[in-house]
Amino acid sequence: MGIALILQTGRYYEVNMHQIGCPLCQKAESDFSRINEGINRAATLTEKASHARELIQKVDTLLKEHEKVERSLAEACRAVLNLRKKAAEMVLKLEKVKR
Interface with Zn ion (CB under 5 A): 22, 24-25, 77
Give 81's contacts (C-beta < 8 A, 6+ positions apart). Answer: 25, 59, 62, 63, 66
* Residue closer to Zn ion (CB basis): 21 or 99: 21
Shortest Å distance, C-beta 6 to Zn ion: 19
Shortest Å distance, C-beta 89 to Zn ion: 20
End-to-end CA distance of the chain: 21
* Residue closer to Zn ion (CB basis): 22 or 91: 22
CA distance 82 to 93: 16
Shortest Å distance, C-beta 70 to Zn ion: 10
* Residue closer to Zn ion (CB basis): 29 or 89: 29
